Homo-oligomer: A and B are copies of this chain.
């Protein structure tokens, strides 16, 4: 077992990020029995980090690990909630994955597709650092909020 400090240090410095806070909240919300109460935030999200070395060692044969798909879904759920906080428009995720690790994820607000990503290599979903994870979530959120501002009527339809 990797010890806790190594696990969290893997991601570098933990930035002050609205997205990371939202992602922590989304993941903690799944913990109905309080099994993760003693985990720090970086411990809780440790598996969102995938270093370059870990990525290289990862097989991409077969179906993506269900835990990886779960993390991917939490990542987009957090973006959806952050979009709502910033725009007032509820954005619900809809995803479709093939068995081979390809897929599409959309976030829909009203009649507007506020985010659309074709995903590949789902097997290797993960970020090299906390900063990269925060940046990715915040960039996608900002783009989605800008899309809502461009098409406000469709987003509120």
Q: A95: CB under 8 A from chain B?
A: yes
Rounded to whole Å, the gap between the CB of A104 and the closest CB of chain B is: 6
Q: A147: CB under 8 A from chain B?
A: yes
Quick one: which of B110, B113, B147, B157 contacts A108, CB cutoff 8 A?
Answer: B113
Q: Copy number in this complex?
A: 2
Which residues of the partner chain B approach A36 to less than 8 Å between Cβ atoms? none
Instruction: Type the 1/0 row for A104-137, where 1 means its CB is closer than 8 Å to any CB of B.
Output: 1010101111101000000000000000000000
Question: How large, as a class, is the contact surface on chain A?
Answer: 10 to 19
Quick one: which of B94, B111, B151, B157 contacts A94, CB cutoff 8 A?
Answer: B94
CB-CB nearest in chain B for A115: B111
Q: A60: CB under 8 A from chain B?
A: no
Rounded to whole Å, the gap between the CB of A135 and the closest CB of chain B is: 23
CB-CB nearest in chain B for A110: B113
Quick one: which of B94, B96, B106, B112 contacts A154, CB cutoff 8 A?
Answer: B112
Which residues of the partner chain B approach A149 to less than 8 Å between Cβ atoms? none
Q: A153: CB under 8 A from chain B?
A: yes
Q: Tell me the A residues contacting B by CB distance below 8 Å.
A: 94-96, 104, 106, 108, 110-114, 116, 147, 150-151, 153-154, 157
Could you give 23 example pairs across A and B, Cβ below 8 Å?
Answer: A94-B94, A94-B104, A94-B106, A95-B96, A96-B96, A106-B106, A106-B108, A108-B113, A110-B113, A111-B112, A111-B113, A111-B114, A111-B116, A111-B147, A111-B151, A112-B112, A112-B154, A113-B113, A150-B157, A151-B151, A151-B153, A151-B154, A151-B157
